[in-house]
Structure 1
Amino acid sequence: MIRGKEQQPFRISSGGEIERTQPLGFRFDGKNYIGYQGDTLASALLANGVRLVGRSFKYHRPRGIYSAGPEEPNALVHLRSGGRQEPNTRATQIELFAGLEAKSQNRWPNLKLDLMGVNDLASRFLVAGFYYKTFMGLPGWHFYEHFIRKAAGMGAAEHIPDPDSYDKMHGHADIVVIGAGPAGLAAALQAGETGARVFLIDENDRPGGRLRAEQESIDGRPAMDWANETVAALQDMENVTLLTRTTAFGYYDGDTIGAVERVSDHLLAPAPYKVRQRRWLIHAKRVLLATGATERPLVFDGNDRPGVMLAGAARAYATRFAVQAGKSAVIFANSDDGYRTALDLAYAGIDVRGVIDPRTGGQGELKDRVAARGIDIVEGAAVVRTHGYLGLAGVDIADLETLRSGRMPETRFIPCDLLATGGGWSPNVHLHSHQSGRPVFDPAIAAFVPGASRMNDRSIGAARGRFSLAECLADGIAAGRETAQGLGFPVGSSPATPATDEPATGSFMTLWQVPALPGRKARSFVDLQDDVAASDVKLAESEGYVSVEHLKRYTTLGMGTDQGKTSNINGHGILAEARGMDIAAVGTTTFRPPYTPVAIGAFAGRERGRHAHPVRRTPMHDWHLANGAKMIEAGLWMRPQYYLQPGETPSRAAMDEAIIRETLAVRNAAGISDVSTLGKIDIQGADAAEFLNRVYINGWKTLAIGKARYGVMLREDGIALDDGTTSRIGENHYYMTTTTAEAGPVMQHLEVLLQVHWPDLDVKVASVTDEWAAMAIAGPNSRAILSALFPNTDFSNDAFPFMGVRETDLGGIPARIFRISFSGELAYEIAVPADYGTAAWERCIEAGAGHGLLPYGMEALGILRIEKGHVTVSEIDGRHTAGDLGFGGMMSTKKRFVGDAMAAREGMADPSRPALVGLTPLDGKTRIRAGSVLVADPKTPPPVPKLGHVSSSAYLSPNLGRPISLGMLKGGRERIGETVWAVFPLRNEAVECRVTAPVVYDEEGARLHG
């Protein structure tokens, strides 16, 4: 039987939310411990007397648990193992579960003896900006980079696949309330009672917010009784959705909230068919931000030792978790909140040895209660130094005014193992800032509060600086009623605000930093995670980094996993003092999503591995596999790369032989290729011809029925979008083909034009890519094969000319035949309904058996089209105009079309722009790699002027006996016959090439026309 009390020396014998009948065993750094259901990993470690939990990022100084929430900068652990491992997880937010395994990180070989702690001895050299000052000189950054990267980072990721599933959900709400503390609960209840659809989101395992950590009362009863009753009422409302264990990480355009629900993170592993996490996108009409506030620390010498903790956190561990964060405590706070902490800690059995209050002459009920308990109160003083190494041993206090005058004060040592510090509370303005809301400074609380909103949001309670319980309740009630009423929901009479028994509190004192003792070099940390000290902030200011954004990047202030939740405001306050300015003028950095780290799996959902995008297969896919095809991904499609014949085994030599065989077959006999992947768009309507005339750069009103035409379309900025053919099937019926890669974008482009720009046109478009299987038969013998397949059709040049289109049938299979060629040979494309694809393909193979017909794949197709200078997405890559690609002569001057105005700009028509050219190696044998940079001379000292790049490459044209390539070269048309160099830096290759015309085979096109 587990006897938890005996193994948890810091556990209070009664109280708290923990389930003492449910002990849970867990491991930390290889040691076994006991906690209870309801604990977090942090509270369970504290209950077991574990104070040292990690090491800081830069100096590897010992670090202890500092907070009780998402703001935790120190207690980052590596949770779980194997594929479920999770580095940089905040121990303060890990719900304890049986079998939990965690280990500390950022240390070697172990937590107590970290050899990287030598950095602390060299801290005087590792100040802000030392990277920039040290590693840019000889022997250069690239020398140091290897060593720096091995030492950098926090936590270690595994390379094992995550075995868990993640889901995505969409929600639609009238009102989203973020935060289920007193303000959020009150607002959700009022809004829910009106019938509005309400989402209430809270990151904790149950609602209540700060009430769970305080000794508060509402209407004469414990405040959590009111919270539990409110939650029960909300759960009974069908129009209210309550999401716990859910963090709203981002506020986006259109009042959309991004949130992550931790469905199974509190379990060792998800139950069968359960997900680990669920990402929500909630679309709201109004948003109420009840996100609360974060307590900020005080900055003084030695404020980072294990045992130094936020005062509110110390209260939370005592009240919510029944844990003593220490046996003997000192409180150091600049508001009456410190007296509240002293009372709660004393009630929890902790020996409170003093309250250090930098204010003087303050009066208040809380202070009187502390004095009545016999606790020492020292006014006008500050903690000036701490003692200890792996844990706190005591503090020195001194008179603050004497310190500020620069004189050496008399110090007093107080032994303790817990120092609870409180520097005031900062409203959590992060979500408000995500939608470009700028916070404004409120000197009454020395914090930034939400400013004017750009969206339909409203901050309430502590999130806008209303810290008392009575203010939070009143704010929540008013916000819930007024927001629902503004949306048209009926509201009744205003309810009375529940009564609280909060004592009056004294004034607040702004204290950004405690001055160091004269003659002592203080280690006063602002950012505990990144080891940014107050001296670093002052150094940055003296070196000219006076913008808060520059300060952040120069010192790394607020750049850790906590994103500066406990450090930013103090850092900016110290900067303001150094500049002699008000902090309101200095401002704050920009908060961006996510509010807390989000697992990549939550963003990916189930779209991972082969589910990352749909794998598309043509109707003839199985035939290809059965006949030796080696498949390759082409966009979203699987397409044959080449075909091995019986008896051939996969190898580079066999691949080369297959590619040459297929290429020569097309040029000398016939080849058949699966082109089902081409985008296909059906266009119908009385204005279809006018629509095409506006979409393409060339004219379309004269296209006859039964004919196809090649066209190029531009984006609105004048850049080429796609090319392809469109055939006229009937009077008002057209059939467009696009490149495989651009099928989706072109369809979207056409839809936008019709729905937004030209809704008056009588045109309907529909994607039919999946409705038709298509195959191209190319080569000198293609006409004979087609004549055998369609004996009732005349395929002579006169009866079926180039770019002709016919509708017929293939032995009862409906078919369309297009005399179109991408290979430059006499060629035809046959399209049949997708269900008949394999049958039609097999008939083609049978008909071509006596004519040397071979199937050919992507590699042979690439060689054939490069020989003819035909472009693909490699050239139409979003950077080039129609003129660059050689289509300038197609651009009509008699009509308007999409992109014509922008394409006519001087820069777009500049003859020195990169133009399509052919490239061949001067030695006739060296391959020119795609992606190579074209330069005049590779020996030119950097920076080497770039002339262009190689867009497509074939390692060998068997028809020409040499490698060939296409490229985009500045002033390319004027450079034909010149030589340039193709440099491929990754392999340190440089190939001298001759510039040629793009078409290097059958320049006259005689073979194309049969």
Structure 2
Amino acid sequence: MSRRLARRDSEVIDRQQPLSFYWCGQLLQGLAGDSLASALLANGIKAVSRSYKYSRHRGVLCSNAEEPNALVDLECEPFLTPNARATQVELYQDLSASSPTAAETPVNRFKRLFKPFGRFMPAGFYYKTFKYPSKWWPHYETLLRTMAGISPSPTQPDPESYDHMYQYCDVLVVGAGVAGLQAALTVARSGAQVLVVDERPQLGGLLYEYGLGEYGKEEIAGKSALQWLRQIRIVLDQMSNVRVLSRTTAFAFHDCNLLHALELRQDHLPLAQRDAALSRQRLHKIRARQVILATGAHERPIAFHNNDLPGVMLASAVLSWVNRYAVSPGDNTVVFCNNDSGLEAAVALKAAGLKLQAVIDCRPDIADSYTQALHGVPLFPGHAVQSATGDAVLQSVSIAPICLQQGKWWVDHSAITNLRCDVLAVAGGWNPVVHLDCHTGSKPHWDEQQLAFMPAMDKAGRFAAGALNGHSAVDACRRDGAFTGVKAIQALGLETTAFEPVEPQSLHTAALFMVPPPDKRHNKLFIDMQNDVTVDDIALAIRENYRCIEHIKRYTGLGFGTDQGKTGNVLGVAIAAQIQGLSMSEVGTTTFRPAYTPVTFAALVGQNRRDLYDPKRYTPMHSAHVEQGAHWETVGQWLRPQYYPQGTEDLDAAVWRECLAARQGLAVMDASTLGKIDIQGRDAREFLNRVYTNAWSKLAPGCCRYGLMLDENGMIFDDGVSACINENHFLMTTTTGGAARVFIWLERWLQTEWPELEVFLTSVTDHWSTTAVVGPKSRALMQRLCTDCDFDNEVFPFMHWRPGTVAGIPARIMRISFSGELAFEINVQANYGHYIWEQVLSAGAKDRITPYGTEAMHVLRAEKGFIIVGQDTDGSMTPVDAGMQWIISRKKTFPWLGKRSLSRSDMLREDRRQLVGLLTINPQQCLTEGAQLVNEPQGKEMQGYVTSSYMSPILHRSIAMAVVKGGRARMGETVYARTAKGTTLEASITSSLFYDPEGACRDG
């Protein structure tokens, strides 16, 4: 660790706790408290990555979340974390890190072959190349996908746990710098509940960089900055109404003061020391009455030729390495600035003992106070860094005189001075971190005094403090934090003392965003270093008429990286404004969207993964199905038997046997998963009239009716059978997968559109168990099981229900059929479901009763042409399209849902896709579900597609259902379907009712 400096009061490292870690397989040493970036610099490693497009060497530019270059992979599978920022990774024992772009992998070596051809890869080059010949596109695509991306994605399940926590507070303070801490203390003294979140391990923000150095003269409220920080932390820790979360990043700001924040609870611990009982990361969902944003500001760079070389850093980053981590990033440092904070950084670095080669300031004059403080250091007012030079790292810079004339910067390229250095500290001004404020639609405005985009803060319940408000002096940030805290207290309606507002202090920033190069050819002035976006790229986009900043962003990739352009976006806006002759306000900013920094997918999911990702639901007969060897499929969270193989039967053989049993003998199915909604109330009938397309006013108790629901656009939404229990009481059934969706849909209409209706809905899906007894012998079986009910066809007709006692258990018996055969559904309380199932199997044993699963059910219903919502419909199909005109009532007084939409001109087109049947010319050939249909064997104009396709055991041939343009008028026509093997199958359009068109089997 040759770059470590002498001990200093402001350091956060523990020199008594050395740590070993691995960088690209090399064993290195660091200290507890180091970040990975500071440890690498302490070991003399500057080049930590290569750029995305040009494969140029890159080093650390920043010291925190805004870092665009130092993306690293941490650990190995299954603990692999890709694209972590080395500046935010806390060092721990045996940490293993590597550079995904600099590692010697085949992909990286392949990328470097393109480095000499960078001039042929300007912005948008992929839109203009790879066009010919078109047959080569698969090869082009493979090439582009090989080069895309940075880190590999993990391939193994993450063994660590994550959780969510809901937080409620009076005031949320985002950012624990000077302003944030003072605001929190001010609010907490009023008795309000305060929550403070900050992304860093230590509180204090940039106080370590600009207030805690040994050279520092900053005082806060009459104390040294370090004393003040320690004292306020002690006070806050002792207050019961304050909670402080460090290592916690607020990454999303939603409406109504809802913020999401990610807490890194164990990322800083060695893998072996992480507690498996605790979550690695926690997602906080915070609802606050008032929000104080004290998010600070990011220092911005200045664009010049080769400004991406390792060793070119922001001045605040250099101060961070020196003050926080006691690391000197180089031997010879040059400071290049356009504002007073750069001069302050130079003074601080000189006081810290770094060797300053020169201080370059683009402004013509340097204040006497800085001149005196920098005595002995060569000063170059009115100069700028024209270019940087070096092979893999910075070796020297070229500076030249610069002046501002008529709003433009002019460089005297004839008076070049070369300075040898290995660190260039750049201070190009400050960008307030407006991201969170913008997440809810606020637009930042350009402030000519601050030369920065300032937050709008135009939403109720939020305030800005500190550097976000444009303050730069440490004590000014403290006083502004106190003032903002007072405003938050007043917004809460609590009593407080008045506090005077604080005017921002100017840093006298010059509007230098780019140093004009001497030669406009082959210059690389980088704006967005992660995506290799240059000044020339922005100019090219504008020449090609992409003038809106949002279009420039998408054409060039500006701000598209994992850093979201935190250091480059404002430079990009400034360059675009300069080229087009517009003001910064006229150009504006791109849209800021969550997340502010990358968030682990697992943290968003929390505990909702593996078995908890989607809860499994089981019917009361589940154990019986297991004993019978059922093969399963998941339907709307329910685990349902797909088929019951016997011996060596495969799916096809088992389904064939099950279907024939239902058609020719006796079969049984578990139908408990159908959604069930209990509907009661004085207006229950009227409610059904409004949500179903058919009439329900005259449905008598003891009767059932099939109903079809449409959405507001007239498209099929769900279907099912509803039974009239008594005059004001109905039991509605829905599709298995649509139960929750339908229930929410009905509640929405009741509560928001029809509050005048007296209707009460209760989901009773889990209350009832349903056993469907199907087949010609089902009536005889039911008579054996239930002696107090007459099952004669005249007494118990189709689409009716009767109460009865089945095997000693009270039941509702419904005569409903989804197979077209004689069928009865036995509905009992769920606790009796398993018992009833066993009794049915026992009573039907002499008739060789056969359980059947969902696959046989699909075949049986398709033979009868019954639709399955979501399979034969796709959200764009009306009842007319499905051939169900018969279910549309024309007499109901109140307009049911979707009625008006059905009269739109588009709904009346004769060429709409309509549901029809298909029979292949070769009856043993089965169409593929999803296959596209054309009019000719080699046709290209799609006519429709296959929705359902099966081999019918009762018909001894294949059948299919499909949607075809104008299908019902094309009966007998031939269409063609391509298979996955490349062959073409020929089929004839027919009715979708393939079996028992007269319906004779329904009555047994």
**Into which bin does the TM-score normalised by the smaller protein fall?**
over 0.9
Instruction: Determine helix, strand or coil for the equivalent of 2:256.
Output: coil
Code of the residue aligned with 1:241 in structure 2: it is R
Code of the residue aligned with 2:120 in structure 1: it is F
1:578-727 aligned within 5 A: 578-645=579-646, 648-649=647-648, 654-727=650-723
CA drift at 1:440: 1.0
Aligned partner of 2:226 in structure 1 is 224
Q: Answer yes or no: is 1:816 the counterpart of 2:818.
A: no
CA drift at 1:495: 6.1
1:698-847 aligned within 5 A: 698-847=694-843
Q: Answer yes or no: is 1:481 the counterpart of 2:480.
A: no
Code of the residue aligned with 1:312 in structure 2: it is S
Query: Which residue of the other structure, out of 110, 116, 133, is the alignment partner of 2:128?
Result: 133
CA drift at 1:987: 4.7
Q: Deviations over 1:561-600 (max 9, x none)?
A: 1111111111121111111222221111111111111111
Unpaired runs of at least 5, structure 2: 212-217
CA drift at 1:815: 1.1
Query: Which residue of the other structure, out of 440, 444, 450, is the alignment partner of 1:435?
Result: 440
CA drift at 1:519: 7.1
1:172-251 aligned within 5 A: 172-215=168-211, 216-251=218-253
Aligned partner of 1:3 in structure 2 is none
Aligned partner of 1:964 in structure 2 is 959
Measured in 2, the distance between the counterparts of 1:80 and 1:989 equals: 49
Q: Answer yes or no: is 1:1008 the counterpart of 2:1002.
A: yes
CA drift at 1:144: 0.6
- Would the aligned equivalents of 1:60 and 1:114 in 2 still touch at CA under 8 Å? no
Aligned partner of 1:288 in structure 2 is 292
Aligned partner of 2:4 in structure 1 is 10
CA drift at 1:12: 3.2
Aligned partner of 1:366 in structure 2 is 370
Measured in 1, the distance between the counterparts of 2:28 and 2:383 equals: 39
Aligned partner of 2:431 in structure 1 is 426
- With 359-368 and 409-418 compared, the bigger mean Cα shift is at 359-368
- Would the aligned equivalents of 1:532 and 1:556 in 2 still touch at CA under 8 Å? yes
CA drift at 1:203: 0.7
Measured in 2, the distance between the counterparts of 1:112 and 1:303 equals: 26
CA drift at 1:255: 2.1
- With 833-842 and 399-408 compared, the bigger mean Cα shift is at 399-408
Aligned partner of 1:885 in structure 2 is 882
- Would the aligned equivalents of 1:935 and 1:947 in 2 still touch at CA under 8 Å? yes
- Would the aligned equivalents of 2:336 and 2:424 in 1 still touch at CA under 8 Å? yes
- Tell me the TM-score normalized by structure 1: 0.95
Q: Deviations over 1:815-855 (max 9, x none)?
A: 11000000000101011111111110011011111223200
- Would the aligned equivalents of 1:362 and 1:506 in 2 still touch at CA under 8 Å? no
Code of the residue aligned with 2:320 in structure 1: it is A
- With 518-527 and 203-212 compared, the bigger mean Cα shift is at 518-527
CA drift at 1:219: 2.6
Measured in 1, the distance between the counterparts of 2:937 and 2:466 equals: 65
Code of the residue aligned with 1:825 in structure 2: it is E
Query: Which residue of the other structure, out of 44, 57, 61, is the alignment partner of 1:62?
Result: 57
- Tell me the TM-score normalized by structure 2: 0.95
- Would the aligned equivalents of 1:364 and 1:505 in 2 still touch at CA under 8 Å? no
Aligned partner of 1:947 in structure 2 is 943
Structure 1 segments, 4+ long, off by >4 Å, are 110-115, 402-407, 495-498
Q: Deviations over 1:400-444 (max 9, x none)?
A: 249955753221111111100011001111111111111111122
Query: Which residue of the other structure, out of 92, 98, 117, is the alignment partner of 1:97?
Result: 92
CA drift at 1:114: 5.4
- Would the aligned equivalents of 1:182 and 1:211 in 2 still touch at CA under 8 Å? yes
Aligned partner of 1:918 in structure 2 is 917
Aligned partner of 1:4 in structure 2 is none
1:376-387 aligned within 5 A: 376-387=378-389
Measured in 1, the distance between the counterparts of 2:670 and 2:146 equals: 49
CA drift at 1:230: 2.3
Q: Deviations over 1:291-337 (max 9, x none)?
A: 11111101111111111100111011111111111121000000111
Measured in 1, the distance between the counterparts of 2:569 and 2:178 equals: 26
Aligned partner of 2:449 in structure 1 is 444
Aligned partner of 1:308 in structure 2 is 312
Instruction: Determine helix, strand or coil for the equivalent of 1:666.
Output: helix
Measured in 2, the distance between the counterparts of 1:710 and 1:628 equals: 33
Aligned partner of 1:463 in structure 2 is 468
Code of the residue aligned with 1:391 in structure 2: it is V
Q: Deviations over 1:214-256 (max 9, x none)?
A: 2232133232332332233333333323221111111112221
Question: Judging changes above 3 Å, is the alpha-carbon distance between structure 1 residues 113 and 416 closer, same or farther for their aligned structure 2 residues?
Answer: farther
- With 211-220 and 87-96 compared, the bigger mean Cα shift is at 211-220
Instruction: Determine helix, strand or coil for the equivalent of 1:710.
Output: strand
Q: Answer yes or no: is 1:352 the counterpart of 2:356.
A: yes
Measured in 2, the distance between the counterparts of 1:886 and 1:557 equals: 52
Q: Deviations over 1:622-666 (max 9, x none)?
A: 111111211111221111111122xx13xxx63221111100011
Query: Which residue of the other structure, out of 391, 395, 410, is the alignment partner of 1:389?
Result: 391
CA drift at 1:38: 1.4
Question: Judging changes above 3 Å, is the alpha-carbon distance between structure 1 residues 405 and 296 closer, same or farther for their aligned structure 2 residues?
Answer: closer
Aligned partner of 2:563 in structure 1 is 562
Measured in 1, the distance between the counterparts of 2:509 and 2:650 equals: 81
- Would the aligned equivalents of 1:208 and 1:224 in 2 still touch at CA under 8 Å? no
- Would the aligned equivalents of 2:333 and 2:422 in 1 still touch at CA under 8 Å? yes
Measured in 2, the distance between the counterparts of 1:382 and 1:111 equals: 40
Question: Judging changes above 3 Å, is the alpha-carbon distance between structure 1 residues 588 and 277 closer, same or farther for their aligned structure 2 residues?
Answer: same
Aligned partner of 1:79 in structure 2 is 74
Instruction: Determine helix, strand or coil for the equivalent of 2:101.
Output: coil
Aligned partner of 2:511 in structure 1 is 510
- Would the aligned equivalents of 1:24 and 1:97 in 2 still touch at CA under 8 Å? yes
Code of the residue aligned with 1:428 in structure 2: it is V
CA RMSD of aligned residues (A): 2.1
- Would the aligned equivalents of 1:175 and 1:286 in 2 still touch at CA under 8 Å? yes
Code of the residue aligned with 2:994 in structure 1: it is V
- Would the aligned equivalents of 2:48 and 2:102 in 1 still touch at CA under 8 Å? no
CA drift at 1:872: 1.1
Instruction: Determine helix, strand or coil for the equivalent of 2:120.
Output: coil
Code of the residue aligned with 1:543 in structure 2: it is E
Q: Deviations over 1:21-52 (max 9, x none)?
A: 22221111111222222111111111111111
Measured in 2, the distance between the counterparts of 1:190 and 1:13 equals: 34
Measured in 2, the distance between the counterparts of 1:286 and 1:364 equals: 44
Measured in 1, the distance between the counterparts of 2:765 and 2:225 equals: 63
Aligned partner of 1:332 in structure 2 is 336
Aligned partner of 2:33 in structure 1 is 38
CA drift at 1:930: 1.2
Unpaired runs of at least 5, structure 1: 1-6
CA drift at 1:60: 0.9
Measured in 2, the distance between the counterparts of 1:655 and 1:549 equals: 54
Measured in 2, the distance between the counterparts of 1:936 and 1:453 equals: 59
Measured in 1, the distance between the counterparts of 2:413 and 2:184 equals: 55
Instruction: Determine helix, strand or coil for the equivalent of 2:836.
Output: helix
Aligned partner of 1:906 in structure 2 is 905
Q: How many residues align?
A: 988
Measured in 2, the distance between the counterparts of 1:380 and 1:172 equals: 53
Measured in 2, the distance between the counterparts of 1:158 and 1:485 equals: 49
Measured in 1, the distance between the counterparts of 2:900 and 2:580 equals: 52
Instruction: Determine helix, strand or coil for the equivalent of 1:209.
Output: coil
CA drift at 1:973: 1.4
Aligned partner of 2:215 in structure 1 is none
Q: Answer yes or no: is 1:163 the counterpart of 2:159.
A: yes
- With 924-933 and 333-342 compared, the bigger mean Cα shift is at 924-933
CA drift at 1:481: 1.5
CA drift at 1:496: 8.2
Instruction: Determine helix, strand or coil for the equivalent of 1:939.
Output: coil
- With 701-710 and 728-737 compared, the bigger mean Cα shift is at 728-737
Aligned partner of 2:255 in structure 1 is 253
